[in-house]
Amino acid sequence: MSRATEPRSERIDIRTTPSVKRTLQDAASTSSKTVSEFLLDSALAKAAEIMADQRLFQFDDEQWSAFLAALDAPPQPMPRLQRLFAEPSALEKALNS
């Protein structure tokens, strides 16, 4: 069942200031939408953008080759990180004192 055909059975309630409500009402009216439609469309568009940013990478051929080369390259030694992991954590220090 797609989002378009799912029954709308859930509510989302928000509190806001009168000036924010007026701004949203004006934007919805300018978009020929209800405030609910405007908020839902805007929130879903932003959610899709955020989710795509977390799982979709778009590279041209040169960027893709560089990305693959970086993935295939052997790991570089990181002495500062090795020293950090060799130190006892704050919890370990607290338990041992």
Over the stretch 13-30, which tens digit does the pLDDT of each residue have?
999 999 999 999 999 999
If one counts the domains in the chain, the total is 1
Mean pLDDT of the chain: 91
What is the predicted pLDDT for the residue at 58?
84
Asked if residue 91 is part of any domain, the answer here is yes
Asked if residue 12 is part of any domain, the answer here is no
Q: 17-51 burial string, b = 16+ CB within 10 Å, else e?
A: eeeeeeebeeebeeeeeeeeebbeeeeeeeeeeee
More confident site: 75 or 3: 75
Asked if residue 80 is part of any domain, the answer here is yes
